[in-house]
Each structure stands twice: as structure tokens, then as C-alpha cells.
Amino acid sequence: MTAVVAACVLIAFLLGYRYYARYIGNRIYQDQEEILTPAKEFEDGRDFVPTDKHVLFGHHFTSIAGAAPIVGPCVAVYWGWLPGLLWVVLGTIFMGAVHDFGALVVSVREKGRSIADITGKVINSRARLMFLCFVLVLTWLVLAVFAMVIAGLFVSVPGSVLPINVEIIVAVVIGWLIYKKGYGPLIPSLVALGILYLFVWIGSHYPVDLTSMLGWSTEKATNAWIIGLFAYSAIASLLPVWLLLQPRDFINSHQLIVGLGILYLGLFIAHPEFDAPMINTAADGPSIFPLLFVTIACGAISGFHGLVSSGTTSKQISSLSHARPIGYGSMLGEGSLALAAVMAGVAGIALVGECNLAGHDGPVADLNWAVYYDSWANAGNRKASAFVLGGGAFAQEIGIAASIAMTLMAVLVISFAATTLDTATRIQRFIVAELSAAVGIGLFQNRYLATLVAVLPAVALAFVRVPNPSGEGSTEAAYVLWPIFGASNQMMAALTLMVLSLYFWARKRPVLPLVLPMIFVMVITLVSLFIQLTGFLEQSNWFMVGFTSLLLALILWMVLEGLGMVRRIRSGAVGA
């Protein structure tokens, strides 16, 4: 049953690209038009670099496919297998891919400007300033939490350290071979992929465990990795995109394709039944509406993707016609990853034998969905473990040894989280420079100072401890703020769709395929934020009350600015 359902979803993705992407591209975005792209017009060898379509697909795909499309579905299948599956399919085809595709097209048409900057042209300078502030805060939060997640995985799965770090070195060599020696990208990147898998095997036998090698505590080892990751992301964001970002992401795109191939092949061979109920009627957690839709964020639609489309990808695309496979196609790839995460949670973990599981004293002898998702709290705390365990079980079905299978899944998760980390740092540098220009402070347009501003507040969020909302001890500030990220990220997508709708409506294009997703996502995220605000009020958590209220005020102000623009367009005061 699971294999049949998975096959039907993958076919739906193919049909969505074949028909719906063509309709959107031809009728609204007009993506086949020949224009001078920013990569060619402003080529500088660092940020604006005309790039091979397949290499750029790899960069964009792995930049948006971080840990979120794995973590979100793994948590959301707590409500059963059907709700999450439907949201992944419908959200990906009709919302997320349309959003990513549109943000890329508009940024290319607007000389590589970010979606926040384009907001100033489409609506007004006030809306631009609010969007920039909104993005700035959320990106700091992404940087902090992703660094903490990767550091935690380095400590808990030390076999992943060696392959991840070797991949960085190999990627620099590949970038040099491609851009300085004229080699084609395919063969070097495939060789690099082979080297990566070799070190997955070596790493699983010779793990880099700081707790045993140096006698450090888990906390000290985690903090050391966090500092190292921020240093890496700052340096990587300043390097030319061709030297590390592009080749590393091209390698990762191959890794993701191979990883998905292993997962789906194992699924089709094992052909397990659904271990989870279609809908969990005994759920003790929060209401499925609206939390399901903001829990599975990047696996269906994500505002962060619009930042990647307009922040880095639009500066490297060599032809507008490449926007469809890169923008729409990459989101379908992310939907496929989210689908694999769903299947790992609702079927894969039932194939796992004895394992260790957070929240249980001692090994679990017979893991299944009911044990893993015994409560909402445990579903949230265990995050991506279902993917590592269930995905590893699928990998074992095709003959991969258990220890290597687990390391392979962990490397897959970390690779894309690390890609998101340094891409987000580069985007944040651009946002800091744009915000600096908007308020008339030229100092922070310097890329080194802008990088410091991009990184240091995120470091603070990762290390500064604040009272735990549960009342038990303290925790990192980033984890306290994280519960509102899902809704805020979705709201960023809704605001981006609002800007796209106004942009193309002013040009007399049919915008209903943009307006309907915008309204749906805006409603569910506003409801979610108001529900969370009510919870913070009940807890007397005034810090979160203030922060959530600030976000809601910015959102409502931007919506009002957008409605004002609608009136001006309808009155004929604004045209293309």
C-alpha cells in the first residue's frame, strides 16, 4: 500500500511539472522570454556568476532542501499519515513550487534584487523596510537553530563529522577544476560523490567524537561545533560562489538524488503497510488545524525559499528559461524528500529492530509508530530521528549495513542543513546591506562588516540562555523563539505571494493561482500566530508575547500596505 501511494504522489509531481508549471510559466511569468539576466549584466566573478543550469539546479535544490522538509513531516505524522501526505502533495504542486518559481522570475526581471527590495518597488518604501526587518530577524533564527541542530548531530552521530568536512575540501578542488581548468562539472562531481561515500564508510568505523577524544562534556563539544560552524558559514559566504557554494551543492544534489533513490528503492522492495492510522483520532496534542500546515513548512511552502530564489539563485541564472526547472522543479524535489520523510515515519520505523530512542530508558526492543508517537511532546522532541531510523531501515532493505545506513542518513540531513546555513549567511549579508542602504547607513554595505552583522546576533541566539517557558530551568534563546518560526516562515511566503500578485496584476496577467495560495497561507499563519500568542499570555511569557505581537504588527501593517496598493491599481493610478 505504501509503495503504491508513494508512486502515485511521484506521478502527481511529474504531471504538475508537465502541465501546471507550463501554464503558470506561459500565462503569468512568461518565463520563455529572452532577457539579459543579472548574472550576465553584472558579472563580477563572486556573487553574479552565469552558471550551468544543472549546477545551479544543484545549488538551489540543496539550499532549499535543508533539515526542515525532513523534520516537519517527521513530527506532523503524529496526526496520522493522510493529513501530512495531502498537504505535501497539494502544497508542493499548487503553492510552494509556484511561489519559488515566481520569486525567481521576478528577481531575474528586476536585476537580481531580493524579494524584500522588490517590495519597495511594488508597494512602497515602508513595506520594503518592514519586509527587510522581518527577514532579518527570521534569518538570524534560522542560522542559530540550524547551527545548533548540526552541532547536535555531530555529537550524537560522530561518524558524520569526517565525510561532511572532507566534502568541503573536495568541493573547493572541484570548483577550481571546473572554473579554472575548464573541466565539465558532471564527472568531477560524481568522483567527489564517490569520495564522500568512501568517507561515510571510514567515518562510520572511525568517528570523530570530541567527548571521547578530548574528554569533553556533550555540552562543551556541542558548543565547540557551533562556533566552528558559524566561522565556516561566515567564510563560505564571502568566498566566490563558484569556489565552494556551487560545487558543494552540485555534489549534494547528486547525494540527495542517490539518497532518495535508496529510500524509495528500499520502500518499494520492503513494500510495508502503513503502521500509522490514516488519522490519529487519539491525538493528545494541539489541533491539527492550523498547526499541521505550519509544522510541514518547507515540505509544502516556505518563505525562506523566496529568499534563496531572489537572494542567490537569481544572481547566477544564465537564462530566464532556466527558472522553470530550477524554481518549480527544485520544489518538487523537496516535496519528494518530504514524502520520503512521511514514509519513514509512518512505515519505515516499523522495520527497525532494537534502537535507542529519546524519552525511553534503555533500548527499545520493537519500535513502531505507536511507540515513537506516544505523545505530542515526544514527537516534537525526537524531530528527525524517524527519518534517520526509518530511512536507515529502508536502506538496509537493499543490503546496506545498519551502521553505515544510519551514518548515511545522518550525513544526508547534515549536508542540506549545512548548505542552508551558509546560503542563509550569504543572503543575510545581502539583506544587511540592503537595510543599511534603506536607512542611509553606508557603513554596513561593506561585505565584511555586513557578514559580522549577519552572524554575531545568531551566535548570541545560540548561546544566550533564557528562562524555559515550561518553567524548568533555562534554554537557548533560539529554541524559545523557534515555536513561532514555522508560522512566521509561512507568513513570509504569503507576503511574497502578495508582492508577486501585485507585480503581475499591474501587468494585466491572471493572478488567481497566486492570490488563492496567498489567502490560504495568510489565514492559517495568522490563526497560528494568534493561538500561540494566547498560549504565551496564559504562561505570562511576556518576552514571547512582545516578540509575537511585534511580528503580528509588522504582518498586518504590510497587508494594509498591500491593500492600499490594490486600490491604487484598481483606480488606474499604477501600471506596469
Distances from the Cα of 145 to the Cαs of 343, 419, 459, 491, 541, in angstroms? 25, 14, 10, 19, 21
d(CA 138, CA 557): 17
d(CA 504, CA 220): 52
Residue 197 has a pLDDT of 85
Element (H, E) at 115: helix 115-122
Joined together, the cell numbers standing for residue 368 give 513502531
Taking every pair of Cα atoms in the chain, the longest distance, rounded to a whole number of angstroms, is 70
354, 364 contact by CB (below 8 A): yes
Residue 14 has a pLDDT of 96
Amino acid sitting at position 501 = S
Give residue 25's Cα distance to chain centre. 23
Residue 350 has a pLDDT of 81
Residue 575 has a pLDDT of 52
Q: Taking the chain (576 residues) in consecutive chunks of 10 residues, what is each chunk's mean pLDDT? A: 89 96 96 92 87 86 79 87 93 96 96 87 82 84 84 84 88 86 80 86 86 86 91 89 80 81 89 87 79 84 90 92 95 92 87 70 73 78 78 86 80 79 86 82 82 90 74 69 77 91 92 94 90 83 81 84 82 60
Residue 517 has a pLDDT of 94
